[in-house]
Amino acid sequence: MSALLRLSHVTKVYRQGGMLGRRLITAVRDVSFELGEEPEILSIVGESGSGKSTVAAMILGQTEPTEGELQFAGKTVAIHSRAERKAFMKEVQPVLQNPFEAFNPLKRVDRYLFETARNFSAGKRPDRQQAEKMADVALHHVGLTLEEVKGRFPHELSGGQLQRVAIARALIPQPRLLVADEPVSMVDASLRMAIVNLFGRLKNELGLSIIYITHDLATAYYVSDNIIIMRKGEIVERGRARAVLDDPQHEYSRALKDAVLAADFDAVA
């Protein structure tokens, strides 16, 4: 069966310490799952140290698995050159946890958008006018306009606005997959659902698949098609998001749900 993304028995082991005190830490152990060709939002949920961000880093090609294989669009993810990195990032884009760390505070945010448009455009490198149009189209998808952000520095935007600019930047290459690692944890609580709703719209309007990495079961319950729950580097439960979270089978999944007020689920249902 064809798949957009497939992880097969992926393990990641880190070595820490020097020659006299070296130890091995298994961050991810024997993880397998896939995304089909149809757009979907897959949430990977777990506490800090569960391995979910390590899985995201491997999907993004930022680190290689110690064992196992990752495939994107039927090809093994193996990035060994700048050209391979650029080709891969045209298809798979990250959305990071802290938007203020994604932008140089001394650089106007529109420059990031224009540079992305020039670097990832198919065919002839766009001129300034074309790059501005590409940026404006992407910004419209996230509820902003180029006029609102043009010439502004990161500190002149709110956290919610800056995160939406970061998402717009990720949309410019027209990727097939976004990997969003805790994308609302640094956003004001009143704006979190706006960002989560945005991911749902992008899936439906642009045909994007999204891997949503989070510790927040309430937003995962609301936005996800499917869900994976991780503990200590392993998958302990998976399935349709509402089915899993309405009736979790694994004791760890039940404990996670019990730690979230029932009202939080009711509020997003």
- With a CB cutoff of 8 Å and minimum separation 6, the contacts of 104 are 154
**Mean pLDDT, range 251-257, rounded to an integer:** 91
Amino acid at 99: P
Domain ranges within the chain, ordered by starting residue: 104-175
Is the pLDDT reported for residue 171 higher than 90? yes
Please give the full DSSP string across 134-183, using - where no structure is assigned: HHHHHHHHTT--HHHHTT--GGGS-HHHHHHHHHHHHHTT--SEEEEEST
pLDDT tens readout for residues 75-88:
998 888 888 899 99
Whole-prediction pTM value?
0.91
Is the pLDDT reported for residue 261 higher than 80? no
pLDDT tens readout for residues 217-253:
889 999 999 999 999 999 999 999 999 999 999 999 9
Residue 10 half-sphere exposure toward CB, CA atoms < 13 A: 28
pLDDT tens readout for residues 208-224:
999 999 998 889 999 99
Is the pLDDT reported for residue 124 higher than 70? yes
- With a CB cutoff of 8 Å and minimum separation 6, the contacts of 93 are 170, 171, 173, 175, 177, 178, 179
Contact 226, 42 (CB under 8 A): yes
Confidence of residue 136 (pLDDT cuts 50, 70, 90): very high
pLDDT tens readout for residues 29-68:
999 999 999 999 999 999 999 999 999 999 999 999 999 9
Specify burial of residue 105 (Cβ count, 10 A radius: 0-12, 13-18, 19+): exposed
